[in-house]
A and B are shown apart, each in its own frame.
Chain A
Amino acid sequence: MSDDIDKEQVEFVSLLLQREVSEMDAEVCEQCGKCTSACPVAIYMEGFNPRRLIAKVALGRTDELLESDTIWTCTSCLKCKERCPENISPYDVILVLRNLAVRAGHPYPAGYDETIKAVLEYGVAQQPRMVRTRAHERRDRASLGLPPAEKPRDMKKFNEVLGGIVRAGGSG
């Protein structure tokens, strides 16, 4: 662990993830299929099946899931969390598994890294950009009379604090 990672923060992050894993309640799942049948992604992507994911978590086979790319193709529509009769939330399980996958150094879609870098550097996921109108004219915040975009006052402090947390989480 390189020195600029704060031990205490790493400790804290794993404690939190442990707690969330224990609160997954995957073991009480009745395998009824309500989550998968309401999931917009399961219809189009063969491999994505929230019910089977929960079945594997209940059997303790989480490492297998961390390596697979299925945990990254959830569209966060929360229908599974809303409708599960046992109050299990495949969505929250997926978020925790994503965090664990990142800590374990497994590959994940590049898009997330770009966003994290941008936020660390500019405080926002996207810098204000030029947009075009229907008539293909170019506009930006200024030309539209909008106030300049906001970002954290002390970017250096912000980067330092957020960077520490992210590194403790084992990514970035």
Chain B
Amino acid sequence: MKYALYLGCTIQAEQFGCEISAREVLPRLGVELVDMEGTSCCGFPAFSSLSTIGWFYLSARNLALAENLGLDILTLCNGCYASFVETKHNLEENADLKGFIQEKLRQEGLEYTGDIRVIHIIELLHDLIGTEKISETVTNPLKGIKLAAHPGCHAIRPSSLGRPDNAENPQKLDHLITALGAETMDYPEKTDCCGSMLATASGTTTLTIAAEKLKAVEGYGFDGLVTTCPFCFQMFDGRQGEINDIIDFIFDTDSEELEVPIFYYTQLLGLAMGLKPEKLGLELNLSPVDALVEKIAGGAK
């Protein structure tokens, strides 16, 4: 199990918790991560909106770099995953588009054939590694903790192009959570969007959409929310403070502030493996995770 690790802009620039915990736990599951040189942005969402061909070029070059290493490419971000799958699909569908992009890539000294598999982190953990193997590595089960799974839009839609999990009834992230000994539950808002792509267009609406999901999760009595996508994590964790600043405007009633601990799955996996919180970038989570981390990490002593 050897993959070219593609981080993407958001993880590489600010979502370090995701990268740290992934680098820490995946090798313990027999996955060898090979860093790629010369990677660039995958083009989503700016280029896909303004210059479709620019978007295909950016995604194709990263795929070419992985092809160059002779490895399948592993992505930790829903946006990048969607970009690569859409690009592969469009280039397969449209021969002269593929020719155009390949010719552009040669100018950068890169060769793209499209003969590469794009692996999503959920697909790697659930389908390729498997929940039994993950449970075997759990020394400190997350007993008595009820977590809401948030796979994120591009991990499940559109089903027409093939996605790691079912569009309407995704269960894989739930299985991965229960594999750590924690509890989970189906809740209606599971397949809802975190709203982050709206940031460029309308600040308040993007926060409202995220707030609605967090409020629902809190309402159902979950102890926290788990995701694998840096965009979603950034919205729920990084901007939970901003949401609370305008909470009365969003829900136009004087409701209490939201206090929902947000985790990357790989962070929780690390804790369940008995690793120290510091080794999993948990100090970087801005949502109120201390009590829960204490409870889990405490169990490890």
Contact = CB atoms under 8 A, between A and B. Distances in A.
Interface of A: 12-13, 16-17, 19-20, 40-41, 44-45, 69, 72-79, 81-82, 87, 89, 95-96, 98-99, 102, 108-109, 111-112, 115-116, 119, 123-129, 131, 133-135, 137, 139, 141, 144, 146-147, 149-154, 157-158, 160-162, 165-166, 168-169, 171-172
A147 B58 CA distance: 22
Interface residues of B, number: 69
* B12, B35, B205: residue with the most chain A Cβ atoms closer than 10 Å: B12
Given A45-B205, A82-B159, A116-B47, A147 B100 contact: no
B16 A144 contact: yes
A161 B159 contact: no
A116 B16 contact: no
A129 B289 CA distance: 23
B129 interface: no
Contact of B107 (A72, A111, A151, A161): A161
Which 8 residue pairs across A and B have the least CB separation, nearest first?
A: A111-B200, A77-B193, A126-B13, A115-B46, A169-B51, A78-B157, A125-B9, A123-B40
A78 B14 contact: no
B253 to A, nearest CB: 16
Contacts of B7: 150
B40 A124 contact: yes
A154 B46 contact: no
* A12, A13, A76: residue with the most chain B Cβ atoms closer than 10 Å: A76
A16 B290 CA distance: 51
Interface in B188-210: 191-193, 195-202, 205-206, 208-209
A112 B50 contact: yes
Given A16-B97, A40-B195, A134-B283, A123 B16 contact: no
Interface of B: 7, 9-10, 12-14, 16, 19-20, 23, 35-41, 43, 45-54, 57-58, 61, 94, 96-97, 100, 104, 107-109, 153-154, 157-160, 167-168, 191-193, 195-202, 205-206, 208-209, 281, 283-286, 289-290
Contact of B36 (A75, A150, A169): A150
Contacts of B159: 82
B49 A99 contact: yes
B227 to A, nearest CB: 14
Contacts of B289: 134
Contact of A119 (B37, B47, B192, B281): B47
A19 B159 CA distance: 23
Given A77-B193, A146-B16, A151-B40, A171 B50 contact: yes
Contacts of B50: 98-99, 102, 108, 112, 116, 166, 169, 171-172
13 contacts: A40-B193, A45-B205, A74-B198, A76-B153, A79-B153, A87-B160, A95-B52, A111-B46, A112-B50, A129-B13, A134-B286, A146-B20, A157-B108
A161 B108 contact: yes
Contact of B41 (A41, A95, A125): A125
A44 B208 contact: yes
Nearest to A127: B13
